[in-house]
Amino acid sequence: MIKKISIRWFICFALAAFYTIILGALLYFNLFKYVFDVNLQNQIINTVSNNARTLINGLVTKDYLTIPELEIITSWPVQDPRIKNVVYFNGNGSIRWHRNDKLVQKSFSEYDRGGYLETYAASDAMLSRSPKVVMKHDGAMYEIAIPLKLAKDDQVVGVISLDVSREQVQSEIKSAMFKYLLGSVAIMFLMGFVLYIFVIKPVVAPIVALTNSIDNISTKSFQFDFSQREDEIGDLSKSIENFLTKVKTELEEQEELSKNRKHYEQEWWAEVLAATIPKGSRALVVDENNNVMHTNFELPLKKEGPIHLLDIFGVTQQEVVRIVGQAMENPGKIFRATTQSNGREFGIKTLQLTSKGGIIRTLIILEPLASKK
């Protein structure tokens, strides 16, 4: 039984744990993705914001790229390997700096027609006056466009567009998910082990003991040996013990009734025959084996054990045996005949009574006939 319950418990716990881990994995994956991506975007935006004053100053004062601007823009990919490309736009949409010198001073529309524009993050940032982030290359990279605005009138004087790799983010997500799954499995294992110990000791072991106690119950004594417990299993054992007590009491009553049934039936037949059989007539009641159960006269024959019908009438009175046999073959019908005993002539009536409970009794009545003159 321990093995059966343990296997079922393990399957149920494993399915619940697997469902919980998968559900948690989906939740945490999206959470990690959001947190790490937002962190990456904020880091890039802060990098640009920290140098925004120098860039805005160059945009406002010069129509061409200044040395401080160039130093800042070219230093970003060196300082942060996640930044793979930088495109610097003027406020009018023309390219102020590009690593491809041929594209410098190209307008936004020319840049787009040349097939160099992969997203519209830069134009959206310029129009909305807020940073825009667009994922590209099947999630391998972000294009982050940050507008450069004048503090006094919020006018956009330029846009920095950076291609930022998500490789580090993806690596961090994988590492976090691996740690989550490893931690989840460890926690589930520990929880399962602890719960298993707590289930086996207070539940399964008492159930096994209760089962063994029930298997060892004898139908003779109905003795139920099980240590009392103050829990649900203890309540169950008390109910079983009360039930066995009731069964034992009823069986004892039935046994006592069965022992006294013959006596009770004899008393019943004595009352019936006394009320129905005319004075002077003799009556016998025999069971299904033709053993005499009751008579309304004293039998001259004395013997130990049951007295058979043939012990009374013998083989000489074949007429009695014949109509008794007829009555046994035809329950519920009365058969009549005559016979002689001790020089007197008797009329014989036989009737077999059969109950639905399988009790068979045959009534034999001997009525003395008037002697013929």
Q: What is the pLDDT of residue 94?
A: 93
pLDDT exceeds 80 at position 4: no
pLDDT band, very low/low/confident/very high, at 200 (cuts 50, 70, 90): low
Q: Please, are residues 362 and 290 in contact by the beta-carbon 8 Å criterion?
A: yes
pLDDT band, very low/low/confident/very high, at 201 (cuts 50, 70, 90): low
Cα separation, 162 vs 143, whole angstroms:
6
CATH number at 277-368? 3.30.450.20
Cα separation, 166 vs 344, whole angstroms:
129
Mean pLDDT of 77-87: 93
pLDDT band, very low/low/confident/very high, at 371 (cuts 50, 70, 90): low
pLDDT exceeds 80 at position 137: yes
3-state secondary structure of 169: helix
Percent of the chain with pLDDT over 70: 94
3-state secondary structure of 362: strand
Mean pLDDT of 254-265: 78
Residue partners of 136: CB distance under 8 A and separation at least 6: 118, 119, 142, 143
Q: What is the pLDDT of residue 221?
A: 75
pLDDT exceeds 50 at position 231: yes
Same CATH fold assignment for domains 2-173 and 277-368: yes
Interval 335-359: pLDDT, tens: 888 877 666 777 888 888 887 777 8
What is this structure's pTM?
0.52
Cα separation, 366 vs 295, whole angstroms:
11
CATH number at 2-173? 3.30.450.20
Mean pLDDT of 269-288: 84
pLDDT exceeds 60 at position 372: no
Cα separation, 283 vs 87, whole angstroms:
130
Q: Please, are residues 84 and 77 in contact by the beta-carbon 8 Å criterion?
A: yes
Residue partners of 55: CB distance under 8 A and separation at least 6: 48, 69, 72, 88, 148, 158, 160
Per-domain boundaries in the chain: 2-173, 216-275, 277-368
pLDDT exceeds 50 at position 21: yes
**Sole residue written with tokens 């401080």:** 68
